[in-house]
Amino acid sequence: MAIIIDRHTQTIVQGITGTNAALHVKFMLDYGTRVVAGVTPGKAGQEVAGVPVYDTVRDCLKQHPDATVSSIWVPPRSAMDAILEAIDAGIKSIIVITERIPMHDMLFARHVAGQKNVMIIGGNTPGVISPGRSLVGMLPRIAFQPGRIGTVARSGAVTYYVANSLNLAGFGESTSVGLGGDPILGTNFEDVLRLFEQDPETDAVVMAGEIGGVYEELAAPFIKEMGKPVIAYITGKAAPQGKRLGHAGAIIEGNMGTAAGKIVALEQNGALIAPVLGDIPVLLKRALGSVH
């Protein structure tokens, strides 16, 4: 079992004929992901790496009714429409690779998704991987191996480094989720922590946050309710106030979004804090009694 995607998940790709999407469709198929169809308006009848292309998500699902996941690779100004189209057609999980989506667009899409009980990962997510089972997005397969540790992070690069640290220590990942780097996200840390808490094949969770926003602080109270250990790592501790580093969402304003504030909130609610990435496996072994 895995969260969000597994080896049986059928997925579609919106914007499949774009250069990046077409490239990564091949990588996803090579990994074993069941990419059953793609959508690009006006390109119906074409194929990408053997995957049929349709004009709309509804047309796609008429032929592939078991598809439950879509990944979105369209330009930022088209992202909201693509998300809403997927929701309207009945897709249940949407993984939005597109970055720098206008904030009001994402707020509206997230509102509609909440009403329909649809999960949106992203925008600006590198994707989701359940190692050895399925990959949706652009995560590098070499960085992940099957295991029983769930990971969730804002940053794609930190996601890779966390997985590499786990792998070198003899752990592996049940599922790794990239929440995304945009200021407004469809899914937050607490949503993913809840899924990991319910997953019988996840023994512990590594949560990697960063400066900016309040997603980490909002998730902290739920950690106290969890029966599984949570290791937390916050990057950007040396960033000056008002400085944006990499992600659109990684900016400190006033006393909000500081690394120190996040660390205090997480630690007070039971998370084990890793000062550096290399401490994550050490804390995991301690929390799990060296059994993994």
* Catalytic center residues: 247
Any bridge partners for residue 14, and if so which? 39, 72
- Are 251 and 262 in contact by the 8 Å Cβ rule? The answer is no
Residues 216, 264 contacting (CB under 8 angstroms): no
DSSP 57-112: HHHHHHH-TTEEEEEE-S-HHHHHHHHHHHHHHT-SEEEE---S--HHHHHHHHHH
- Give me 128's structure tokens: 């989701």
Per the CB < 8 A criterion, the answer to whether 149 and 166 are in contact is yes
Q: Which residues pair with 207 in a beta bridge?
A: 152, 232
Q: In Å, how far are 35, 146, 168, 264 from 143, measured between CA atoms?
A: 21, 11, 10, 30
Q: Determine contact, residues 37/54, Cβ cutoff 8 Å.
A: yes
Question: Pseudo-torsion of CA 80, 82, 84, 86, nearest 10°?
Answer: -150
- Residue 8 in contact with residue 32, Cβ under 8 Å? no
CA 230 – CA 271 distance, rounded (Å): 5
